[in-house]
Amino acid sequence: MATMDDIARRLGVSKGTVSKALSGAADVSETMRKSVVETAVEIGYSRIARGASGKRLCVFVNNMAYEKPDDFGWDIITGFRKMAEPTDYQVDIIPFNEQMQKESRYDEFMLRHNYLGAVFLGLTLLDPWMKDFQSCTTPAVLYDNHVQSNPAVTHLGIDNDEGMEMAVARLVELGHRKIGYLSSALGSYVYQARYASFFHALRQFKLDAHQYMAGYAYRSSDCLAKHLPRLLDKGCTAVICSHDLLAHTLLIHCAELGLRVPEDLSVVGIDDLPLCRYTSPPLTTIRQDRTQLGKSAFYALSSLIEHVPISTLLLHAELIERASTGPAPV
Amino acid sequence: MATMDDIARRLGVSKGTVSKALSGAADVSETMRKSVVETAVEIGYSRIARGASGKRLCVFVNNMAYEKPDDFGWDIITGFRKMAEPTDYQVDIIPFNEQMQKESRYDEFMLRHNYLGAVFLGLTLLDPWMKDFQSCTTPAVLYDNHVQSNPAVTHLGIDNDEGMEMAVARLVELGHRKIGYLSSALGSYVYQARYASFFHALRQFKLDAHQYMAGYAYRSSDCLAKHLPRLLDKGCTAVICSHDLLAHTLLIHCAELGLRVPEDLSVVGIDDLPLCRYTSPPLTTIRQDRTQLGKSAFYALSSLIEHVPISTLLLHAELIERASTGPAPV
């Protein structure tokens, strides 16, 4: 385990200078501070190992609304805080972007700002730090993203296989035999995972699992224009969507086409956003319990900090049945 | 949430009688106690919801040695106790068998003995309670077993995909192109999972992933007799075994055959049992950190008790390289 002495020796400075640089003291030059932090990262010096005095964690957010109670991220962050703050952790919420990821490596950022660990909400596969997570030493819990073989990183999410199986099982029970899937572009881990889970579930129930039963596109309108006609053509009587907002767009589109939901087509979303109760008809969906995700994020992060190397922590999915699903048309 | 009143109403007795029956008071007949417990289980009454006074957990063990520090189960149980006991839980260790599972359902057993939740070590797919876990309401953490769709049950283990990928990646680095797999019979979830992970890893590295590259049997000697000649015939220069004891048997068998390890054949185990350091040659293996598994079992169980429905909790795997692996023969 690297120590401040190791950093001092490497740079040929005193341990006092290293200590001051790491604590951000004013009488250390910016150049020295930078060298110290870079060396610290390079040799794997970690605040955790040294028992930092301030217990600070952060939640990085991007591509996700979180500022109002109805936003997707609100409950996750609230759940996290509810666990972290009573145990004396200070939690900062940090909107992140590509620029800041390019400016410094993840470990460097965390060391410089004195954070023990972080939760990431809304990462995509294109985020520069995704590469850092393969070898970083500062604990990171990635919501809906998976990085293999680094004991400092945990994948947190819901059990997509289970959720998809529940949805397909219920549709089969309702008499559906041709089930389609519409998805956002596969540029994020979770959309890839759900896509795979969908076909896995079809095969489990011995339904037609040909590639033409699914389609994806970056924009919802493109996705519907490009793939819905084919799904209907193939005889689909039910469509599962990769997220509630896409399902909501599908409901509106069906109304425009004169397709009755659920009489002509059953529609299922994923997420259980607050809006699901208010769509027309109210949306059946695979629920992600966001408060529990937030609480679990804290469990996972505090485990990593205590050197329990959690690789994957998945919550059970739940199928919430509302009016957008019904018996298959005869 | 079912209450004692609900039980009393159902049976037409007083709440006092129900309370006494559940706490095992001497002045309630055995017949009444049985009726009360059965009704409680039937309507989903849970001690957790009611805030039981005694905080008792148990660890069920079967098919696994745990009584001495070198036994596989010892560190898991010790890790669990280290987390549970300082937070005022009392932990009992219960060897389980088929008979007791047939005598009462899991929920019934737990309610009757006043346990809030349990960890299971060594379950097989044939255990009668495996069926109960699909719908039980008492929290259960299953080491190396997976039950879908019940929010009261968590699957705990290591990330077998990751471990297998690490082992295959290292063997490929050492020049091996034909890698075989020997396994115990596929009568347990974890052996099925590892078998699938092995082929998944072969495909990732674009190696020959034909079914003949793997073989399984209940007894180690049968497994070697039946499958090793074929693997060698197919040109395998490395063999991964489903568990260390099988790998150890393979090492002994190789010595008998005059096959040098690792010059002629590299051998990899799974588990990192204490014996791995003492085999001849010392065994390269995919490590399960048993102490951390025990600690995580407590994390998962206390989460379930607090209604955080953890589906899956996997720890990172680690490849421990010893002398049983080396460059592929030219």
Express each pLDDT in A185-240 by its tens digit. 998 899 999 999 999 999 999 999 999 999 999 999 999 999 999 999 999 999 99
Residue B296 tokens read as 């995580």
CA distance B221 to chain A (A): 33
Please report which confidence band the pLDDT of residue B47 belongs to, taking 50, 70 and 90 as the band edges.
low
Tell me the mean pLDDT in the region A150-156. 96
Paired strand residues for B183: B216
CATH of the domain at B264: 3.40.50.2300
CA distance B83 to chain A (A): 12
Give contacts of B161 with chain A, Cβ < 8 Å.
148
Q: Helix B290-305 to helix B72-84 angle, to the nearest 10 degrees?
A: 40
What pLDDT, on a 0 to 100 scale, did the predictor assign at position A244? 95
DSSP 3-state of B294: helix
Give contacts of A295 with chain B, Cβ < 8 Å.
303, 306, 308
Same domain, A308 and A211: no
On whether ipTM exceeds 0.90, the answer is no
Question: Which of A57-61, B33-37, B131-135, B283-287 comes out lowest in average pLDDT?
Answer: B33-37
Tell me the mean pLDDT in the region B200-219. 96
CA distance B36 to B43: 11
Q: Which residue has the tokens 């993203």?
A: A145
Report whether A305 contacts A142 (CB < 8 A): no
What are the angstrom distances between the C-alpha of A153 and each of A47, A150, B166?
A: 16, 6, 16
Instruction: Determine the residue of chain A that is closest to B148 in CA distance.
Output: A162
In-domain check, residue A321: no
What pLDDT, on a 0 to 100 scale, did the predictor assign at position B204? 96
Torsion sign (Cα): A107, A110, A112, A116: negative
Q: Are B310 and A316 an interchain contact pair (Cβ–Cβ within 8 Å)?
A: yes
What pLDDT, on a 0 to 100 scale, did the predictor assign at position A49? 45
Give contacts of B140 with chain A, Cβ < 8 Å.
none
CA distance B236 to B265: 8
pLDDT at A51 over 70: no
Same domain, A196 and A310: no
Tell me the mean pLDDT in the region A32-41. 82
Same domain, B115 and B95: yes
| Last residue of one domain, picked from the residues A288, A307, A324 | A288
What pLDDT, on a 0 to 100 scale, did the predictor assign at position B56? 93
Same domain, B284 and B165: yes
**Is residue A314 less than 8 Å (CB to CB) from chain B?**
yes
| Distance between start and end Cα atoms, chain B | 68
Among candidates B149, B315, B317 on the partner chain, residue whose Cβ is nearest the Cβ of A310: B315
Same domain, A83 and A168: no
Give contacts of B306 with chain A, Cβ < 8 Å.
295
Q: Which residue has the tokens 């956003």?
A: A273
In-domain check, residue B311: yes
**Is residue A134 less than 8 Å (CB to CB) from chain B?**
no
Torsion sign (Cα): B17, B21, B27, B31: positive
Nearest to A45 by CA among A27, A22, A26: A22
Q: Which residue has the tokens 């009611």?
A: B50
CA distance B304 to B139: 6
In-domain check, residue B34: no
What pLDDT, on a 0 to 100 scale, did the predictor assign at position B17? 87
**Is residue B315 less than 8 Å (CB to CB) from chain A?**
yes
What pLDDT, on a 0 to 100 scale, did the predictor assign at position A240? 98
Select the residue from B299, B302, B303, B319 to test the A interface by mutation, using most A Cβ atoms within 10 A.
B299
Same domain, A195 and A253: yes
Tell me the mean pLDDT in the region B125-136. 95
Same domain, B284 and B164: yes
Among candidates B148, B162, B308 on the partner chain, residue whose Cβ is nearest the Cβ of A295: B308
Tell me the mean pLDDT in the region A44-71. 79
Beta carbons within 10 angstroms of residue A267's beta carbon: 26
Tell me the mean pLDDT in the region B147-151. 90
Q: Choose between A158 and B40: higher pLDDT.
A: A158
Nearest to B325 by CA among B288, B287, B285: B285
**Is residue B172 less than 8 Å (CB to CB) from chain A?**
no
What pLDDT, on a 0 to 100 scale, did the predictor assign at position B49? 45
Question: Which of A230-244, B69-83, B156-170 comes out lowest in average pLDDT?
Answer: B69-83
What pLDDT, on a 0 to 100 scale, did the predictor assign at position B53? 53
What are the angstrom distances between the C-alpha of A53 and each of A290, A319, B88?
A: 30, 44, 27
**Strands B140-143 and A318-320, sheet pairing:** unpaired
Tell me the mean pLDDT in the region B143-152. 92
In-domain check, residue B31: no
In-domain check, residue B46: no
- Residue type for position A231: L
CA distance A315 to A286: 12
CA distance A104 to A144: 23
Tell me the mean pLDDT in the region B46-57. 64
* B324 secondary structure, DSSP code: T
Counting the structural domains of chain B, the total is: 2
**Strands A318-320 and A284-287, sheet pairing:** antiparallel
Return the top range by mean pLDDT from A262-271, B103-112, B144-153. A262-271
Question: Which of A158-162, A186-190, B58-62 comes out lowest in average pLDDT?
Answer: A186-190
Same domain, A67 and A138: yes
Whether residue B262 is preceded by a cis peptide bond, meaning omega within 30 degrees of 0, is yes
pTM of the model: 0.82
Nearest to A285 by CA among A143, A163, A157, A180: A163
DSSP 3-state of B227: helix
Element of type H or E holding B31: helix B30-42
DSSP 3-state of B42: helix
**Is residue B95 less than 8 Å (CB to CB) from chain A?**
no
CA distance B111 to A287: 30
Element of type H or E holding A169: helix A160-173
Nearest to B297 by CA among B41, B165, B288: B288
B287-314 residue pLDDT tens: 999 999 999 999 999 999 988 999 999 9
In-domain check, residue A38: yes
Q: φ, ψ for residue A144 (rounded to 5)? A: 60, 30
Same domain, B173 and B133: no
Q: Helix A220-233 to helix A244-257 angle, to the nearest 10 degrees?
A: 60
Dihedral, CA of residue A208, residue A212, residue A216 and residue A220, to nearest 10: -90
Question: Which of A78-92, B130-144, B239-253 comes out lowest in average pLDDT?
Answer: A78-92
Same domain, A201 and A79: no
B150-165 residue pLDDT tens: 999 999 999 999 999 9
What pLDDT, on a 0 to 100 scale, did the predictor assign at position A46? 66
CA distance A317 to B311: 8
Please report which confidence band the pLDDT of residue A260 belongs to, taking 50, 70 and 90 as the band edges.
very high
Task: Give the HSE-up count for residue B54: Cα atoms under 13 Å, Cβ half-sphere.
Answer: 12
**Is residue B292 less than 8 Å (CB to CB) from chain A?**
yes
CA distance A5 to A15: 6
Report whether B174 contacts B235 (CB < 8 A): no
Select the residue from A310, A318, A319, A320 to test the B interface by mutation, using most B Cβ atoms within 10 A.
A310
Q: Which residue has the tokens 């007949």?
A: B29
Report whether A259 contacts A295 (CB < 8 A): no
In-domain check, residue B122: yes
Q: φ, ψ for residue A291 (rounded to 5)? A: -65, -45
pLDDT at B272 over 70: yes
Residue B83 tokens read as 């987390």
Domain span at residue A102 reads 4-157+292-315
Residue B149 tokens read as 């769709």
CA distance A288 to A297: 13
Nearest to A246 by CA among A228, A260, A265, A264: A228
**Strands A140-143 and A153-158, sheet pairing:** parallel
pLDDT at A106 over 50: yes
Residue A80 tokens read as 């996290």
Please report which confidence band the pLDDT of residue B48 belongs to, taking 50, 70 and 90 as the band edges.
low
Residue B53 tokens read as 């006074």
User: How many residues are listed for chain A in this entry?
Assistant: 330
In-domain check, residue A320: no
Tell me the mean pLDDT in the region B33-45. 80
CA distance A32 to A39: 11
Same domain, B91 and B240: no
Same domain, B164 and B280: yes
Nearest to A328 by CA among A210, A163, A173, A203: A173
